[in-house]
Structure 1
Amino acid sequence: MMLAQEVIRRKRDGAALEPAEIGAFVDGLTTGAWSEGQVAALAMAIVWRGMTAAETVSLTQAMVRSGQVLHWDAQALGGPVLDKHSTGGVGDKVSLMLAPIVAACGGFVPMVSGRGLGHTGGTLDKLASIPGYDVAPSVDRLRQVVAQVGCAIIGQTADLAPADRRLYAVRDVTATVESVPLITASILSKKLAAGLHGLVMDVKLGNGAFAAEPAFARALAQSIVDVAGGAGLPTRALVTDMNSVLGRQVGNALEVREAIEFLTGRASQAPAREPRLLEATRELSAELLCLGGLAADLAAARGRVDHVLASGVAAEQFARMVHALGGPADLVDRPGAHLSLAPVVRAVPAPRDGFITAMATRDIGLALIELGGGRRQAGDAIDPRVGFAGVQPVGAPVQAGEPLAWVHAASNAKAEAAIRSLRDSLTLADGPPPEAPVVLSRIPGD
C-alpha cells in the first residue's frame, strides 16, 4: 500500500507523480483511506507545484474510473448528448437556461453540476431552492428523465466520479480552488463520466472569477480543451467577462426566478433578458448546437436559440425537467407560489448621481455568503431566500437615493451589513465607462 505522506512529500518537493501514485490518491479519496488533512495537503501541494499534462490526464481518468460511466446507446436518444460547464461567477445562472434551450433544439443534456465553490454560486444550490426538486437522483432516474424530457440538471450521484465529489468539498474550504490541473480534472471527470458527445466550456475572467488574469483563464481553457480532446470528447471553450454580476439577481431562489423570467420573456421590472446574460447564454448555446451537429454554423445556431426562446418551447422544457425531477408542475407559471422570499427586503440607495463604472464582483459573492446564501465550511446550510435583487449593471446611470439593488435578508442586522457591502463594491463616476465585450476569446478544439 502506497503511503499517503510519501505521495504528498514528492509533490511538495516538485516531483511529477506517477500514474500509480495518482491512482492511490484517487482510491484514498473514494474509500476514505486518505484523511481530510492528507487530501488538503496534496491539494495545496498541487496548487503550489502544479501538474504536468500527463499528470492531469492521469488524475482525470482515475477520477472517471472511480465510479460509473454512462453510455446512452441503449436509450436510442436520436440526438447528440451535450453539456456546458462554467468555472463559476457571481449571478451566473446560464446553465438553468442553456440546458432547456439545447434540449428544445434536439440535443440531450445530462448536466452534472456542482454546489457553490468559494465566492461563486453553484447551479445545484439554485435548483435546491425549488421545493421537491431532486438534485441527486439515481443514475436510472437520470437516464429516464434525459430520455423523456431532453435535459436533467443534477448533482454528482454516488455513482458518478465519487472521488471528485470529495475532493471538490475539500478544495472549497481549504483555499485550493485556483489550480488549472485540479479544475480541469474536476470538471472533466464529471463530464467524461456522463458519456457526452460534446462539451462547451465557459471560462470566466475578471474580478468575480477564479481566473482574475487573462493568462490564467487562457491556460485553463486550453487545458480543458486539450485534456478533453485527448480523452475523445470534442470540446470548445469561451472565455467570458466576469467583471460584474451576470444578470440582475444574486442568490439562489432569486436566480431561479430570473432564469424563469429569461425563458418566458416575462419580468415585473426591467428587461426580462438582461443583455449580458442573454449574450452569454446565446453564444454558449450556439457553440454547443454547432458542436453537436444541430446547426450548420453559429449564425444558424443563434437563430435556433432565438426561436425556441420566442416560441416558449425552451420554457416548456424547463418546466418539464423540474416536474420530472420532483419539483412543482406549475413552477414556471407560478414561481411566487413556490420560491421563498426573505422576510427583510431593503433598498441600497445610491450615495450620489453618476454612472456605475466598476464592480468589485468577488466582494458581492462574499457578501452573499455573509447573508447566509453560501458556505464558509463544506457542511454549512444555505438560506435560499437571501441575496441581491435588481442589481444595477455597470454603465447604468443612477441618481442619488435611487436603488442600486435590493437586499433580501433574514434579519435587519444582516440587511444593514449587506447594504454597506454592496455600496462599497460599486464605483460611481461622472461619466459612463467604456463598453466591455461579454465573449473575450474562443478556443476551438482540434
Structure 2
Amino acid sequence: MRKTLPALLLASALASTVGATEPPPPDRPERPERTDRRDRPDRPDRRDDTQRPPRPGAQRYSLQQAMSDRAQLHTIAFSGLAFLTGDFAADTFLPPGKVSDYFGFQSLRDTDAVQGGHSPAFLTRIAFNTLAILNPAQRAELIQAAQAQQADVRRFALLRLPLIKAFRQTLERSGPAAKAPLNRAAVRAHSAALYELDGRIATKRAEAMARVLRGLNAEQRAQLARLKFGDSRTWPDAFEPPERRSLPHDIDVALMTHASELFAWQGGGLDADTYFCPERHAMYFGGFGLKTAPALGKQDFAISTALTGDAGADFLTLLNPTQRALIEALPDLQRPQLQEIAQLRRQIATELRRFLTGEKPDAAQIQALSRRYGELDGDLAFLYAQAFAQVGQSLSPAQRSALIQLRERSPHDPRDPTGPFLYAAPLDAAGLAEAERTQGFFDGR
C-alpha cells in the first residue's frame, strides 16, 4: 500500500534532517487523491454555480455538526498547523463577516444548495441583489450605519492584536513570555471586553437593518422573497450600486456586509442566526490566514470546504502520541464552554430580532451576554494557546519540516498579501503599536 501524504512528508523531512530521532507516526487509511480543477482541460476555470445541480451526498452543515467532536478536533488541528507554521502577520487575517455575526449569513454560506457559498463572488452577488431592491434613501441609510459603526469595527480588530501577539510570544518564549506564563484570567478579561464591543456593534447594526426592513414596500418584499435563502441559483446578476464608486474602502466593505446580512437576516430565522461554523471561535491562530487570505481579490477562487478537515487530520498524523494527545484532549476540555456559547448566541440573536417587530431589545442584557461570551471564548483561546505552545516547543526538526511541507500544499500564490492585516487590509503603524501591549497577559497569576 502507498504511504499517505503525512507519512511521505515526514519521511522526506527525515531524509533531509540530521540527528532526527523520532520515528514517523503510523499510517492511516489513505484518501483518494484530489484532482486540481486547473489540471482539467475539459472544464473551464470559471464555474457558474447558479446553473450547477447540488452534488449527491454533499455535506449539509448544522450547528450540531459544527459542534461535533470530529469537526472541532480537525478545526483545532488546522489552527494548530496554521499557528505552528505561520507567523504573527498571518495570524492577524480575519474576514470582516466574523464580527457581530448574529444575522444568519454564515448559515446562508454553508447551506447553499449548490455549495457556492465559499466563492468570493457569493457575497457580492447577494449584496448587489439586495442593494438593487432598496431605494436610494434606504441604501443611504445603510451607508450611514456603516459610517457610524466604523470606529467600533476598527477598534474590535485592534483589540484582537495584543492577544494574537501574546499567544505567539507564548509559543516562542519571547517578550514577557520569556519570564512569566500566560495568565488565563487576563486573557478572559480582555476577551470579555472585546466581545462586549462586539455586542454593541451587533445592536447598532441590527437596529439599522431592521429600520430599513420595516420600511420596505410590498413590491420590495416580493422581490426579496424571490431570492431564496439557501439557493443561490435564484439570485440573478445585478448591477453594482452607483454609491459604491465614491465610498472609501472600509465603508464599502461595511456596506456590502450590511447588505448581505440584511438579506440573510430577513430570509433566515433564529436557527440561522445562532449557527456558527467550526472555526468561529478562538480566531487568533492563523487559520483564516492560511485558508481564506489566498482568496483576496480573486472572484474565481473557491475556498475549499475540505481543506480544514483534511489538513487538520494530516497535522495530527505528523505528531507523536504525546503531542497528539494534547490536541485530542481539547474537544473534551472546551465542551462546557462551547455548549454555553451556543445558548448565549441564541439568547443574543433572540434579543436582536426584537428590532424586526419594532420592539426595543434589552441592551443591557445583550451586553452582559456578550461579555460572558467573550469570557468563554477567552477560555478556548487560552486552552489552544497552551496546547499549541507545548506541541510547538517539542517538535523535532523532521516534524517542523514536514509541517511546513503540509502548509505549502494549501492553495497559495507567492504574490498574495502577507500581512499583518486589519481584517483583510494592510495593518497601519497604529495597529502595530497596539499589538505590542502584551505585558498584562503575563503579569501575576
- Whether these two folds match at TM > 0.5 is no
The structure carrying a bigger helix percent of its residues is 2
Greater relative CO (CA pairs within 8 A, separation 6+): 2
How would you bin the TM-score normalised by the shorter chain?
under 0.3
Q: Please report the TM-score for the alignment, with normalisation by the length of structure 1.
A: 0.26
The structure carrying a bigger strand percent of its residues is 1
